A and B are shown apart, each in its own frame.
Chain A
Amino acid sequence: MFALLTDPKDPEFVQTPLFTSKESTLQRIGNFTLSADGDLEGDVREILSGNKAADWRKKYSDANNDERESALRENLKARFAEFELTNAKFYPSPDVSKGVSVVIT
């Protein structure tokens, strides 16, 4: 991405540095129990940082928790024929340089 460095005498377009893959991370931790009839039940925690967190904020920072949960349900509906979502909590840090956590139960 380019950025304009404003200066009355010598303005300049510069290319901003990219985050490396180490600075934009998506970590997902799931603890599940499988039943003998094939159902999988458990909790998921997602931790986003860097551009991944920025993307989330761009989509959902103006949304309330019901709207965020509704979007999550739509995502799951497209992927699983049948599922139950008990609860979803979203923890975007007020400091935008920090990450976002999502807890799904």
Chain B
Amino acid sequence: MKVQGYAQHTGKRLFVTPAIFEAGFSSRFTRENRQHPIYFDYPWSETDIVNIQLPDGYHLDHGDAVAQESYFNGGRKVKQLRAWLVAPNGFVKVFDKNSMADIGVFDQMELYNDIRVRSIRAEDPEIGSVFAYESQVEDKPLFAQDDYQFQNNLPAVRSRYILTLPSGWNATSVVFNHEAIQPVIDGSTYTWELKELPFHEHEEHSPSMFGLVPRLAVDFHPPSNTPLAAICFNSWTDVSRWHGQLAAGQDQVTPEIADKVRELVSSAPSEYAKIQAIGRYVQKIKYVAIEMDQAHGGGYKPHAAAVVFRKQYGTARIRQISCAPC
């Protein structure tokens, strides 16, 4: 027998459900409410063995469905994370707390950070399954901004970001990788929505999804004269002022640093040569990123110059501050 168009094309992929013997049957378990159990004439067992020879050049690509939320001590908390996997035959698998993994985040650019992730993974779900998850997160942001990525590489039928602000607040937004989206505003609730977002095929050396898929950045603006104004940015000057306060004191020069600077510039004949000597020394400090205390600006706040000088490693922020005038 031959079933035309059984597998679906998406980009360079073919999506095929191996459960061909169940294909086209409606599930007996889809009703929301049922007063009586489903009646079967008798108990029986089924065994299906399906061997599928793939077309030349194709290989099997298992896809896991993952729900995850990040958190860090003293700031962002994951209050709840639940997930469900609904198989094509209607069987619902519920993922509870015991299914959740708690793992550290690894970033190739960093030696260590204290961000962790709670995650639920449905491994290799049957094609045609629906994976759903719901999370509740409580965050104490460093500044009054949020961002939302409307999709990953997978297509999205509908993707929506809804924001409800306290009375008297308002929001402004910018959209990247997509034309502007005007939010629907109902009182203090703003809704941004996109529909029918396409699949993004992975290409070697392509930009990350961050630079390809629609992304929303939102600024929250409190009523004027609120103490929260310090964490609200209306301009780059505001950003600079915020960061200046965060980094204040980290560039403090110790006697050891001052001695080293004097040594470096002692034979420099000009101001430019002095800058060159200091710059070359700082460039030899090794790049090692350690981002801790995220709740209080870790990741944005440079490590103290004295610590970097003693340990001889740091990040771009540390190098920048190490070059600050003594």
Contact = CB atoms under 8 A, between A and B. Distances in A.
B49 A28 contact: yes
Interface string B53-72: 11111100000000000000
B1 A18 contact: no
Interface of A: 18-22, 24-44, 50-52, 55, 76, 78-86, 104-105
A25 B8 CA distance: 32
Contacts of B53: 32-34
Contacts of B5: 37-39, 81-82
Contacts of A36: 14, 55-58
The 7 closest A-B pairs by CB, nearest first: A79-B24, A24-B44, A38-B7, A40-B6, A21-B43, A36-B55, A41-B2
Contacts, number: 123
Interface of B: 1-9, 14, 16, 20-21, 23-25, 41-58
B1 A41 contact: yes
A40 B221 CA distance: 57
Contact of B21 (A21, A28, A84, A105): A28
B6 to A, nearest CB: 4
B3 A78 contact: no
A76 B198 CA distance: 32
A56 to B, nearest CB: 12
Nearest to B48: A28
B8 to A, nearest CB: 7
Contacts of A86: 1-2
16 contacts: A18-B42, A19-B43, A21-B45, A25-B45, A28-B47, A28-B48, A29-B49, A31-B51, A34-B55, A38-B8, A39-B6, A50-B44, A55-B41, A79-B25, A80-B3, A105-B1
